[in-house]
Amino acid sequence: MEIVRQKIADPADFRARGIRARDALRGDLEGADLDKYVEERVLTTTLDKALNWARGNALFPATFGLACCAIEMMSVVGARVDIARFGAEAFRASPRQADLLILSGRISIKMAPIVRRIYDQMLEPKWAIAMGACSSSMGVFNNYAIVPADKFMPVDVHVPGCPPRPEALMHGILKLRQMIQDDPAMGWRDRYEARGTEEIVGDLQDPGADAAVNVLKRPPGSAGA
Ligand code: SF4
């Protein structure tokens, strides 16, 4: 659903609409007037769609910064980008209250388990954005200490740049919002054949079997989440 703001062409029309709303509330509208009023204002949908619409417009990012990209991430709540317009400004101080992890910077191999633990502590449904070249692809660094986020946790959206501008992060958040509203199953669960909060990883020794590596066993006959 897209909400479009328009200038009121005629203030008198605005007043007429106010009077119609008052009449409707009082039960004074009848017949064709009532039909037209209801047609213009009532929206039908499914509970799932309404839930996803609300989720997509009320993301709670975790208060967690990794490196230089974090400075750009912080600025999205400022007046210039004002991510509050899209309901994603309430950065939570605990992963238990957050549903979005923004990986804003480079991740060393030593830091990766901590990042993964923060992600695991977040409640479902949850999402992750890899912000910047470092967390997406090790960025400008050519050494053994940095690891891309995809190697140890699921990532829903990658935002390129070094650092990406706050506008780019906003674009990434809007892409994620679209993903949540349009097709939530497009998330990491299907891609990684996972359910719950853990991933199901194949056994390297026995490619035909599921292995319990940090994971729940896949139930027999299930295709994933
Ligand atoms: S992508 Fe660039 S700005 Fe972001 S953490 Fe890496 S080096 Fe820093």
CA of 134 to the centre of ligand 1 (A): 6
Measured distance CA(160)–CA(136) in Å, rounded: 8
pLDDT in tens, 63-108: 999 999 999 999 999 999 999 999 999 999 999 999 999 999 999 9
Chain centre distance of CA 16 = 40
- Domains belonging to the chain, first-starting first, are 11-42 (no CATH), 54-191 (3.40.50.12280), 193-225 (no CATH)
Residue 143 region, left (φ>0) first, then alpha (ψ -120 to 50), else beta? beta
pLDDT at 214 exceeding the cut of 50: no
Q: Is 69 in the pocket of ligand 1 (CB under 6 A)?
A: yes
pLDDT in tens, 106-139: 999 999 989 988 988 888 788 999 999 999 998 8
CA of 166 to the centre of ligand 1 (A): 13
| Cβ–Cβ < 8 Å for 111, 124 | no
Measured distance CA(220)–CA(214) in Å, rounded: 18
Q: Is 168 in the pocket of ligand 1 (CB under 6 A)?
A: no
| Cβ–Cβ < 8 Å for 107, 133 | no
